[in-house]
Structure 1
Amino acid sequence: MLNGLTLDQIRTFVTVVDSGSFRSGAARLLRVQSAVSHAIANLEGELGLQLFDRTGYRPVLTPEGKALLANARDLLLRADAMRARARSLGEGVESELSLVVDTLFPIATVAAAMTRVREDYPAITFSLESLPLGGPLAALDEKRCTLAVIVGEDFRNPRIALEAIGSVAQIAVVHRDHPLATKSAGGALLGLPDLADHQQIVLADPSPLSGGRAFGVLSPYTCRVNTQDVKFALIRAGLGWGRLPAWQVQDDLDAGQLVRLGISDLGRNSQVAYEAYLAHRLDEPLGPVAQAFRRALAEHPMS
């Protein structure tokens, strides 16, 4: 029954669903509408059921169409992944490797992996960008990088493969002269009323993936910044409190410049560990340099 089923038919089906109509699907596929209609009709014939209800102004998925849509997307993902792997087997060494790294991840670890890669590929050119929250995933989705380091479980995409490479601990800190430092003296736990009058320094998401969500924002007064370094500088200057990765603040904690806050709403001992992942697109091949970086990052201990 399914001997005549083709990937082109399946891709046409998914494109029509995603674009909302046969006409829009045809425009996206750079085809005439009649060709798209013909492909869908052939697919329906092969499957022996109707995928779209065409009685209205726009085609609407039938219950059968809705049930098969997930299968169609899965088949396309697998086909694209196979195609990407085949391309990687036939391609040579990349001339450039583009990386986007979550601001929570220690850049020294990335630098060590880059140094290791250059030992084997001295002619490689790197492009490195550091972005918070949904930035790394958006960069991969928009094909602005080959590899990304993503921290946490908040952002996912079925076209993105993840490989766990370590964990990052975030802790709440404030300058030693800030009023909250006094309140937290002796290991006292702070509650939401204690934070109500004090500014929290938080990172803004450069991507639309947050959708208005707030991550660990407890104070009604916030100062939103676009980089981790700015957030760190403002907290060190005593302008507010916030959460920062332990690797970034440990020296200041040891020197007594920053004080750790006890806030029960932000995990035990005000610390939360987030898993870090190396991510890449399933439909894009990883060349020799990208594979070398992947191995180097996995082998190098986080610092």
Structure 2
Amino acid sequence: MTLDQLIALDAIVATGTFRAAADRLNKAQSAVSHQIRKLEDELGFTLLSRDAYRPSLTSEGEVFYRETARVLEQVRSLKSVAAGLRSEQEAMISIAITSTMALEPVLDLLGTIKQIYPATNIHVASEMMGGPLARLMAGDADMIFAGLQDVPIDEVETLPFGAITIRPVASAGFEAAQKPGVLSRLEMQRYTQVVVSGTGGKDFDQSRDVLSGGQRWTVSDFEAKKSIIKAGLGWGGMPEHLIQDDLASGALVPLRVDGFPPRHTEIFAIRRRDKHMGKVMSAIWTSIETDEMPIDAPQST
């Protein structure tokens, strides 16, 4: 059994045909078929049924493939570690963060990393909605901190990093805030909803919690959104960490809107599988994975 044989099996399952797998692996179709036949001969059972146009896993093949996927994931992880160990300290790393999360946990981590690797420049960008994902997939960010909406899971690695809550609010004097009970969507269409525009472009548009048919005021960031809401000019969802003091003082109050409950989102550190990590990125990733700050990295001179 060889790694190439396992990779060939994975390619066939992923693409659906021997021909497509051969194209993906840059090999002749006959070579891929030969690898699978040799693997089946060694195992003593058939992995793929060839009765139809598209090969399908046999019952034994399904069990074997599940383990194959785990092995290949471990191999990819091992290659990434090796790449980081042999790489030089990066000149710059770029990180994009969703604007809905607090910056402090990320900045605490990056501050420690910067002390260990002072020669590496760190670029941090706060992006709206699908902006972090757009930066990652375009190759403009080495890592992002965001939710998993629309994220191509097969193409990335993820580590849990925290959670956020978006809560519908209005100023205490806002007309809708003074009405008891749950407010209907029809009723809320009378009031201006303040929304933040995304920075992900049309391919990564993640606008959520937007009331259809209602009046709308679009702004570029959450600070502007909060100012407009506090001024009594509209209502909208705000990350809780940005409005804790305003809720405590009563300047803002929660709204109960039908179909717009407080939204809880898990935040992940996300990076592309096909991009090798250098020393600094490896240190950041390991710190998140182990919840421990690196202490033995070499100091730059």
Q: Say whether the fold is shared (TM-score over 0.5).
A: yes
1:24 CA displacement: 1.3
- Once the two structures are superposed, residues 184-234 of structure 1 have per-residue CA deviations (whole angstroms, 9 ceiling, x without a partner) of xxxx44333543544544567749999x99865666647596964475566
Change (3 A) 1:106 1:299: farther
The correspondence for 1:149, drawn from 145, 151, 164, is: 145
1:78 CA displacement: 0.8
Question: What SS does the aligned partner of 2:90 have?
Answer: coil
Residue in 2 that maps onto 1:66: 62
Residue in 2 that maps onto 1:12: 8
Letter in 2 for 1:160: E
CA distance in 2, matches of 1:86, 1:35: 29
Of all paired residues, the percent bearing the same amino acid is 28
Question: What SS does the aligned partner of 1:190 have?
Answer: coil
1:135 CA displacement: 5.5
CA distance in 1, matches of 2:134, 2:95: 12
Q: TM-score, normalised by structure 1?
A: 0.71
1:245 CA displacement: 1.0
Say if 2:120 is the partner of 1:124.
yes
Residue in 1 that maps onto 2:281: 290
Residue in 2 that maps onto 1:78: 74
The count of corresponding residues between Structure 1 and Structure 2 is 287
8 Å CA contact 2:129, 2:207 repeated in 1 = no
- Once the two structures are superposed, residues 67-92 of structure 1 have per-residue CA deviations (whole angstroms, 9 ceiling, x without a partner) of 33322211110111112112222223
CA distance in 1, matches of 2:125, 2:206: 24
CA distance in 1, matches of 2:113, 2:23: 43
CA distance in 2, matches of 1:281, 1:174: 39
Say if 2:159 is the partner of 1:162.
yes
Unmatched segments (≥5 aa) in structure 1:
none
Change (3 A) 1:13 1:299: closer
Question: What SS does the aligned partner of 1:68 have?
Answer: helix
CA distance in 2, matches of 1:115, 1:131: 20
Residue in 1 that maps onto 2:255: 262
1:12 CA displacement: 1.0
Letter in 2 for 1:70: R
Q: Which moved more, 1:240-249 or 1:58-67?
A: 58-67
CA distance in 2, matches of 1:240, 1:179: 10
CA distance in 2, matches of 1:284, 1:106: 27
Residue in 2 that maps onto 1:243: 237
- Once the two structures are superposed, residues 82-119 of structure 1 have per-residue CA deviations (whole angstroms, 9 ceiling, x without a partner) of 12112222223122212121221123554454444333
8 Å CA contact 1:171, 1:271 repeated in 2 = yes
Q: TM-score, normalised by structure 2?
A: 0.72
Q: Which moved more, 1:227-236 or 1:15-24?
A: 227-236
CA distance in 1, matches of 2:166, 2:151: 18
Letter in 2 for 1:241: W
CA distance in 1, matches of 2:46, 2:215: 53
CA distance in 1, matches of 2:144, 2:235: 28
CA distance in 2, matches of 1:175, 1:169: 19
Residue in 2 that maps onto 1:44: 40
Change (3 A) 1:223 1:11: farther
CA distance in 2, matches of 1:293, 1:246: 27
CA distance in 1, matches of 2:69, 2:202: 23
Say if 2:21 is the partner of 1:25.
yes
Residue in 2 that maps onto 1:195: 188
1:21 CA displacement: 1.4
